[in-house]
Amino acid sequence: MEGIEEEEEGADEGRNRAAGRGRAKRGRSNSTWGRGDRREKQKGKAEKRKKVKLEGVERVGKKKIKKEKMLEEEQEVEKTDEKEGEKGVGDELGERDGVGKESEDGKGIKEEEEEVDEKGDEGWGETQSAEIGQRVKEEEGEEGTGDVPGKEKKQKIKEKKPEGKMKKKGKKSKEKNEEENAPGKTQKRKSKEEGEEKNNKKPKKEEKEEEKKEAENKWKWWEEEKKEDGVKWTQLEHRGPYFVPLYEPLPDDVQFYYDGKPLKLSLATEEIATFYAKMLDHEYTTKEIFQNNFFNDWRKEMTSKEQKIIKDLDKCDFREIHKYFVDKSEARKALSKEEKQKLKEEADKIQEEYGYCILDGHREKIGNFKTEPPGLFRGRGDHPKMGMLKKRIMPEDVIINCGKDSKIPEPPEGHKWKEVRFDNTVTWLASWTENIQNTLKYIMLNPSSKLKGEKDWQKYEVARRLKDVVHKIRAQYRADWKSKEMKKRQRAVALYFIDKLALRAGNEKEEGETADTVGCCSLRVEHIKLHPKLDGQEHVVEFDFLGKDSIRYYNKVSVEKLVFKNLQLFMKNKDPADELFDRLNTSILNRHLQSLMDGLSAKVFRTYNASITLQEQLKALTNSEDSVAGKLLSYNRANRAVAILCNHQRSTPKTFEKSMQNLQTKIDAKKQQVEEAQQELKKAEDEFEDTKDAKAEANVEKKKKLLKRLEEQLAKLNVQATDKEENKQIALGTSKLNYLDPRITIAWCKKFGVPIEKIYNKTQREKFAWAIDMADEDFEF
């Protein structure tokens, strides 16, 4: 949008220069006249022309200002739409709390950590430059004027002298007079705008060319023959992890105070003090368990002298250190464009060196090539270990995995690796054990890589196989509700919940080691209530427990009579803290599922039910006659049904109310523009009725087109408002990226003419390149 404004204003400036040359020529001619009577005569003519022009500019000016104001408001909405559009359709991932999660199998850095935090770069606000240019032409009623009204132009209209312009004399007089008012400014602004135009255009052009080149050079691994079972790669070479820089001491004028007195801390003690100081304004530091865990671990790292002095956290004053880091953060934000560019270049250099590997002869991007920085553990919910010290990862903690024939990565000088392996049956490049929960952390490839893509593809193919046997499995667990063995009954009821409600299986955990979160197999009696009748339904089970990531699962669901009776039996003579399924655990359930179908697990049920729900909802909700915005609303509604099924919730964003108010303001402004356009159309139609003129007829058509566009934009804004309201507490991103077969979405896009970039941003399109290439509009899950 800005690029178009600059181009068209640049065109105006070109015309201004031409007009200026014309004036100079006339000026030389005028200087040769030299006779008083001619000067008087010319003066009289000039005054007459000036009067006529003044009247003309008053008539034209009022009308034009009104039009320009209307177009200015319209473009403001478009610009804002473009900014909002960068989040991707329905993609509220950046607002989620799901950063830094650990995997379901307890194996550290999870795919979702990379996938869920990816931000979109396309969406609702995409505006075609041709459309904008045409709209401007139509509003002006002339071809090629290129006037795009903006703040600067509006100001010009207010300030300019009444030189005037009669329409039949064209545009030259106006442009001459404008240049006379500010000849220097015009030239300066032009060169500035040309520079900005180049700066703005170049990255976009380069970005498009780069994306096109990447697509052409994309490794189509899915077209190659699969390797033998268990073998993931034949060649793997990389540089190892990038280690977080060592701690830099605080300046001498930034001090820690104990009991009101400054106290110089040792380097290790000071570093840990900064971890706490940085979090002073966070809710965590108000929690007693966080404070106790921090203080205990901090004291362990102190010198014996410091331990004798520092005995009470309440007497510690971190405020000066906190202020130092706040100021440092603000200074970083205030850096000049050049300084920020320099930092970016340094980061890019590190990315280039450590962020790529060679896999089977192809250059692949690594997902998380940096080790985790030291700090204080936060956890989710009321985690019993929050506040404990996450120690710095050293090369001696790291196991390297690479190819036998490849160059082994060099450890930092003066250090050595814990171990070097050549295991081509795993997909990780490096690993270490973190000290809080003793879980493994991994460095893996990027979601767009072959290894991740193959894993996704295989996951959805397993879920598709379940479709062929799911009816048989359901028949069996229904039969087992009547089994004489309590173990079989419990397993059958648990499987019913996993299938019907998409519950996670739940893993066994050591008491006091993690937050009190549960899954289906670890439900306790206190987590459910039984209602023979509730809200007009029979056999209602009320669930209320904390699931993964301490997200509350609350649901009231009507179940089959036999399930209800079995639950009554399972709860009989049990205390609230007793296990509901005391004869069942995750291992027993998964062994049973494996016997029903190779590769079957509780997660496969979630993936199957999520994908099949999306496919069915899309068929039911999509109207082929809808606009693209209407179809996208249908897609988000289908996606929301899946997110609700999988309990992918989020808290309402803090900025939600303000965002909705801004959107409503845009809607109101757009409604006013529509009304004004309707009035303009009526005037044009009346004029045509009176004159039956071809020019008047053309004007009517232009007004109709403008009105149609404005009505489409209003409809689009209304769809956005509906979508925003419906999704304020639902996280669509997790299911879209991790539970929904992307081929369903791509087939839908191709069938109904919806651009894929409206659903998946660039990063996500790279992740699902295999699906985009292989799925056609007839794909069925």
Q: Looking at 284, 496, 553, 739, which residue is catalytic?
A: 739
* Closest residue by Cα to residue 403 from 445, 448, 360, 366: 360
Q: How many other C-beta atoms can be found within 10 angstroms of the C-beta atom of residue 582?
A: 14
> Taking each helix axis from N to C terminus, what angle separates 586-596 and 486-501, rounded to the nearest 10 degrees?
80
Closest CA to 454 of 238, 767, 115: 767
For 257-277, b where at least 16 C-beta lie within 10 A, e where not — what string?
ebeeeebebeeebbbbbbbbb
- Output the six-digit token pair for 507: 């893993």
The DSSP bridge pattern shows strands 316-317 and 261-263 to be unpaired
Number of helices and strands (H, E) in the chain?
Answer: 24, 15
CB-based contact 323:203 (threshold 8 Å): no
Pairing of strands 356-359, 236-237: antiparallel
Q: How long, in residues, is the chain?
A: 781
- The residue with tokens 């997110």 is 643
Q: Rounded to an integer, what distance in angstroms lies between the CA atom of residue 57 and that of residue 78?
A: 29
Give the position of tokens 């959805």: 460
Cβ(478)–Cβ(521) under 8 Å? no
Pull the structure tokens for residue 55.
Answer: 């009247």
CB 107 within 8 A of CB 442: yes
Active site residue 739: yes
C-alpha closest to that of 365 among 373, 374, 356: 356
Nearest to 740, CA basis, from 622, 637, 615: 615
Element (H, E) at 23: helix 2-30
Q: Residue 630: CB partners within 8 Å, gap ≥ 6?
A: 623, 715, 719
Secondary structure (3-state) at 433: strand
- Tell me the two tokens of residue 409: 């990565």
Q: Is the Cα torsion angle 467, 471, 472, 473 positive or negative in sign?
A: positive
Q: How many CB atoms lie within 10 A of CB 511?
A: 7
CA distance 598 to 754: 36
Selection from 245, 240, 247, 236 nearest residue 395 by Cα: 240
The single-letter DSSP state of residue 315 is G
Helix spans in 163-255 (H) = 172-181, 183-217
Tell me the backbone φ, ψ of residue 236, rounded to 5 degrees. Answer: -145, 115
Distance, CA of 554 to CA of 237 (rounded, Å): 48
295, 376 Cβ separation under 8 angstroms: no
Q: Which residues are catalytic?
A: 739
